[in-house]
Amino acid sequence: MTAIAEGTRPVPRRSRFVLDRPEFMGPLFIAPAILYVVLLVALPFFLAIYYSVSAYTIFNPSYHFVGLKNLKEVLESDIFRHTLGNTFFFTIVSQIFGLLLGKVGAMLLIQDFPGRGIARALVVLPWAVPVSLAVLAWKWMFDSLYSVINWTLMAVGLMDPMNPAQWLGTTDLAMTAVITVHAWRLFPFGVVIFLAGLTSVPKDVLDAATIDGAGFWRRNYVIIMPIILPIITIALIFGTVFTFTDLSVVYLLTNGGPVNSTQVLGSLGFQVGVLSGDVSHGAVICLFLFPFLLLATIILLKVLRRREI
Amino acid sequence: MAAVAARHIRKQFGDVFAVNDISLSVNDGEFLVLLGPSGCGKTTFLRILAGLESQTSGDILIGGENVNEVPPRARGIAMVFQSYGLYPHLSVFNNIAFPLKTQNTPRDELRRKVDWAMRLLSIDHLSSRRPRQLSGGERQRVALARALVREPTVFLLDEPLSNLDAKLRTSARSELKQFQQTVRTSTVYVTHDQVEAMGMGDRIAVIDHGQLRQIGTPTEIYDQPADEFVATFLGTPPMNLVEREGGSLGFRPEHFLPREMLNGSALAEMPFRIDRMEYLGSERILYGEIEGRPSKRIVTAKLPAHAASDQLRAGDRHAFAVRCSELHYFDREGRRTREGAVQ
């Protein structure tokens, strides 16, 4: 019996266990990601680089090489230089406000109070709402006739009813409006990051600081902030990249206006390259983002590496 | 004078009393251990002493003054936490200097005090390291040094040895005790480890379910346990309890010996059926039952390994005995009663 059983047992073939082998499965699992990056990131990126040194427009799709001519033209344009300045201003200011609000929000939400769970869920809303819907709501709030902001300011007597603010029609106010909306959209991200940071500080460390005589400010800025600094740096860099490349708020709220006062690189690139069909100049404008993003990425990776040690 | 005194401390969380009417005092220079199982309220009580939690009712006196309304930093206490609570981003020097900086201590005085504390604990060579570059034992010493520079009236230590491995714990235990004897600062030490408690405490306060069961010297706690809880919480293996009329009878495993090993009269003899034996190197633990008793409680005997005669085997019946002076009597509520009074 034994002999028969042994005789009929199939000899295991090597190919049967191919799925157990990491050197086969590893590349298989990672292939979709590589494919995705190559097709949707690397390819368009190199295409953009090529467009930027060609004379390609929608109306005349020629790959004729023109060198740095496009770059020179873009750099000489007043609108572009103005836009570059706007982009930095918009990015930096909305970052500051987004993170500040995030910190305050996190410090409130880390307290124990009834309904904290609901409050925490609600805070994430600005992030979860589709940007088009959110901006639609804001557009009404900034409307020249129906602005609830103006109505409130008039009601408390801070604004002259005869001369209401034209939020989206005046250059300074339009920038304020764009930054407000963007900071509002960033703020939940800030809250989440700060909450994660604050909860990661060991309770023993906070108790020790309390006993050692550190008051609110010292506890916050000498103990907690340095401990969560790496997390904040990551948040800041993510937020910066996110804001720097963003065109949705500007495009939906002001479309760059009035007179390009809220134009950012993303929206300008879109207008020139897609709407006007001047692909090569659009590519140059968008590629201007690249050095800054590269720098941000390098810093990010450095911070992450330092954190691991 | 008592360095610290607690009067009728209660702490309520919802319906539960985490600390239920604990009163005790710590004498000057004394090392008091709060001993109890996890979740018995000992850490909560320590945090109340520190001012990190507020009591529901009761008074805390430190150095004779009522500190109920005094914030932790002004209570004259220093605390060492279970995971030390070192500031991870500061060097050893700055960790130790932190409590002085918050008091705006002048720079040279600060330097002097920190150096003194570091030398006392022999960590001066580590002064510029970060906590994560230190071993567990070194971290503990940094935490002690940080506590020391504040020159507190009392040290509060919350299981400071539990993060160390077994070998290091033994040496850290004697170091800690030595350190306390050098500085002679009153100390309240929380632990669930009876070996630490017995080895370090001048006195031990045994706590269970938020209540103080007994406070006394290690010998008092071990030899005259106030109730069944204390009797069975201390000792490895714990005290044997067998039923008797009107309560129970207790005797320590090391006092429960083969009849022939005991001489003299006044012995309580019991027929012991050995079910299982464990050889632990220096001693032998015997598990079994006392025959002729209605309840089937497992009874243990601890014999010196060399004395455990070869005749004793699992499955054997043998006459064992306890000296009457080593019997403990407990009433139905589990409280100690006068020896033989109810019998």
- Asked whether the beta carbons of residue A214 and residue B102 sit closer than 8 angstroms, the reply is yes
For residues A160-187, average pLDDT: 86
Q: From CA B120, how far away is CA B137, in angstroms rounded?
A: 15
B85 touches chain A (CB under 8 A): yes
- Asked whether the beta carbons of residue A208 and residue B77 sit closer than 8 angstroms, the reply is no
Residue A138 has pLDDT above 60, yes or no: yes
* The pLDDT value given to residue A97: 92
- Asked whether the beta carbons of residue A218 and residue B83 sit closer than 8 angstroms, the reply is no
Which of A207, A218, A229 is facing B102, going by the closest CB pair?
A: A218
Residue A2 burial by CB count (10 A; 0-12/13-18/19+): exposed, middle or buried? exposed
pLDDT single digits (tens) B223-244:
999 999 999 999 989 999 988 8
Which of B85, B89, B146 is facing A207, going by the closest CB pair?
A: B85
Copy the structure tokens of residue B74. Answer: 């002004």
B99 touches chain A (CB under 8 A): yes
pLDDT band at A289 (very low <50, low <70, confident <90, very high): confident
Is residue A250 a part of any domain in this protein?
A: yes
Copy the structure tokens of residue A166. Answer: 């034209």
pLDDT single digits (tens) B141-174:
999 999 999 889 999 999 988 888 888 888 888 8
Is residue A269 a part of any domain in this protein?
A: yes
First-to-last alpha carbon distance for chain A, in angstroms, is 61
- Containing structural domain, residue A237: 78-308
Is residue A303 a part of any domain in this protein?
A: yes
Within 8 A of A202 by CB-CB distance, chain B residues are 83, 85
Q: Which of B98, B133, B139 to mutate to test the interface with A (most CBs of A within 10 A)?
A: B98
B236 touches chain A (CB under 8 A): no
Within 8 A of A213 by CB-CB distance, chain B residues are 73-74, 99, 102-103
Within 8 A of A223 by CB-CB distance, chain B residues are 87
**Model-level pTM?**
0.79
Q: What is the CATH number for A258?
A: 1.10.3720.10
Q: Which of B52, B75, B110, B140 to mutate to test the interface with A (most CBs of A within 10 A)?
A: B52
Q: From CA A77, how far away is CA A84, in angstroms rounded?
A: 11
For chain B (343 residues), the mean pLDDT of every run of 10, in chain order, is: 88 92 93 93 94 93 92 91 92 94 92 92 91 90 91 92 85 88 92 92 94 95 93 92 87 91 85 90 90 82 77 85 91 81 44
Q: From CA A229, how far away is CA B196, in angstroms rounded?
A: 39
CB pairs under 8 A between A and B: 60
Q: From CA B80, how far away is CA B162, in angstroms rounded?
A: 12
pLDDT single digits (tens) A236-286:
888 888 888 888 889 888 888 788 888 898 899 898 888 888 888 899 998
pLDDT single digits (tens) A61-103:
777 888 888 888 888 888 999 999 999 999 999 999 999 999 9
CA distances from A101 to A104, B38, B223 (A): 5, 41, 62
The arrangement of strands across the sheet holding B57-62 comes to: B16-27, B2-13, B57-62, B65-66
Q: Is the dihedral of CA B198, B201, B204, B206 positive or negative?
A: negative
Q: Which helix (H) or strand (E) holds B286?
A: strand B283-290
DSSP B201-223: -SEEEEEETTEEEEEE-HHHHHH
Place of tokens 């309520």: B12
Phi, psi of B19 (to 5 degrees): -125, 125
The Cα of B243 is separated from the nearest Cα of chain A by a number of Å equal to: 45
Within 8 A of B84 by CB-CB distance, chain A residues are 204
* The pLDDT value given to residue B62: 92
Gyration radius (Cα) of chain A, Å: 27
- Asked whether the beta carbons of residue B52 and residue A211 sit closer than 8 angstroms, the reply is yes
Is residue A211 a part of any domain in this protein?
A: yes
Q: From CA A54, how far away is CA A265, in angstroms rounded?
A: 20
For residues A26-49, average pLDDT: 92
Is-contact A167 A174, C-beta < 8 A? yes
Place of tokens 């050995």: B274
Copy the structure tokens of residue A35. Answer: 């494919």
Within 8 A of B52 by CB-CB distance, chain A residues are 207, 210-211
Cα A204 to chain centroid distance, Å, stands at: 34
In chain B, which ranges are continuous DSSP H helix? 42-50, 92-102, 107-120, 136-148, 166-183, 194-200, 218-223, 228-233
Q: From CA B215, how far away is CA A24, in angstroms rounded?
A: 67
Gyration radius (Cα) of chain B, Å: 24
- Asked whether the beta carbons of residue B72 and residue A211 sit closer than 8 angstroms, the reply is yes
Copy the structure tokens of residue B34. Answer: 């709060």
Is residue A39 a part of any domain in this protein?
A: no
Is residue A18 a part of any domain in this protein?
A: no
Is residue A175 a part of any domain in this protein?
A: yes
- Asked whether the beta carbons of residue B86 and residue A208 sit closer than 8 angstroms, the reply is yes
Is residue A29 a part of any domain in this protein?
A: no
- Asked whether the beta carbons of residue A212 and residue B81 sit closer than 8 angstroms, the reply is no
B155 touches chain A (CB under 8 A): no
Provide the β-strand partners of residue B20: B10
Residue A40 burial by CB count (10 A; 0-12/13-18/19+): exposed, middle or buried? exposed
> What residue type is B190 in one-letter code?
V
Residue B140: how many CA atoms within 13 Å on its side-chain side? 21
- Asked whether the beta carbons of residue A202 and residue B89 sit closer than 8 angstroms, the reply is no
Which of A205, A215, A229 is facing B85, going by the closest CB pair?
A: A205
Q: Which helix (H) or strand (E) holds A308?
A: helix A289-308
Q: From CA B105, how far away is CA B121, in angstroms rounded?
A: 21
Residues of A in CB contact (< 8 Å) with B are: 202, 204-215, 218, 223, 226-227, 229
pLDDT band at A191 (very low <50, low <70, confident <90, very high): very high
* Size of chain B, expressed as the number of residues it contains: 343
- Total structural domains within chain A: 1
The Cα of A306 is separated from the nearest Cα of chain B by a number of Å equal to: 13
**Non-local CB neighbours of A56 within 8 Å, separated by 6+ positions:** A62, A63, A64, A279, A280
Residue A207 has pLDDT above 90, yes or no: yes
- Asked whether the beta carbons of residue B86 and residue A223 sit closer than 8 angstroms, the reply is no
* The pLDDT value given to residue B311: 73
Copy the structure tokens of residue A65. Answer: 């090489």
B131 touches chain A (CB under 8 A): no
Copy the structure tokens of residue B36. Answer: 């109890």
- Asked whether the beta carbons of residue A212 and residue B83 sit closer than 8 angstroms, the reply is no
pLDDT single digits (tens) B87-112:
999 999 999 999 999 989 999 999 99
Place of tokens 């290091």: B168
- Asked whether the beta carbons of residue A223 and residue B79 sit closer than 8 angstroms, the reply is no
Q: From CA B113, how far away is CA B107, in angstroms rounded?
A: 10
| ipTM of the complex in this document | 0.82
Within 8 A of B79 by CB-CB distance, chain A residues are 207-208, 211
